[in-house]
Amino acid sequence: MSDKLQFALETIAENILAVRKDKGITQEELAFKAGIDRTYIGYVENSKHNVTLGMLIKIASALDLELIDLLQPKEAKTNIEQLNELFPYIRKYQKLAEDSNGINDVFQDNGGKLLQVLLITSLKDIPGREGNDAVDSEGNEYELKSVNINLTKSFSTHHHMNPTIIAKYRKVDWIFSIYEGIELMEIYKLTPKNLEPYYDKWEKKWKADGDKDINNPKIPLKYVRENGKLIYQMENCNMFYEVKLK
């Protein structure tokens, strides 16, 4: 066995063992989650087996890791070293954002999260502040909203809600994306009919307040989940996938 291969096997073994112990699971439990034999895990953790790529992917998935996490030697790195290691991937994400939807800064205005939703739904961003947010291949427009449920349990709407804005909203479906931190957990679609109770309520309030614009009325997360159509939900593999809106 070559020195390079032995080093690779030892690195894989050390990483699997360290993560398994950190998670407090036995070889039997890991084998069950990965759908492989327990003795295979033992051989791998002792660097006594040339693990196949397919098996390694199963083990990584069972440990909630990416394949690359098992292949890289564990070294103590400074914050700057970690930043330099990660940023090339952020640059690739930025290029994808620009090439696919013209988003020029994934760090601004939730651009990174917007890109996820657009790619999952195959929608295209509509630039500018006026009009709706996105359009599909048939020309249908959509309003997009997102929420980080670690911070709040309702969706923001518009800072100057009035009959003109409501009339625009009544013409399109809404896409509601639910995040936990940076993780996209669920996407719901609501139709104008689903949202009519809020449109009616906002119109009445606007008139009752003397034709005064309403500052950012909210739509509760609970209402979206109870009345919307669930079109996307994070899977155990933590991999994104495309969905159809129709």
Active site residues: 133, 143, 145
Distance CA 216, CA 61 (A): 41
CA distance 191 to 49: 55
**Which residues are CB-contacts of 31 (< 8 A; sequence separation ≥ 6)?**
37, 38, 40, 41
Which residues are CB-neighbours of 185 under 8 A, at least 6 positions away? 149, 178, 179, 233, 234
Residues near 240 by beta carbon (within 8 Å), at least 6 away in sequence: 116, 119, 120, 184
CA distances from 231 to 16, 21, 32, 115, 244 (A): 35, 36, 30, 17, 8
Q: Say if CB 116 and CB 137 are below 8 A apart.
A: no
Number of H-type helices and E-type strands within the chain: 10, 8
Q: By C-alpha distance, which of 52, 62, 81 is closest to 20?
A: 62
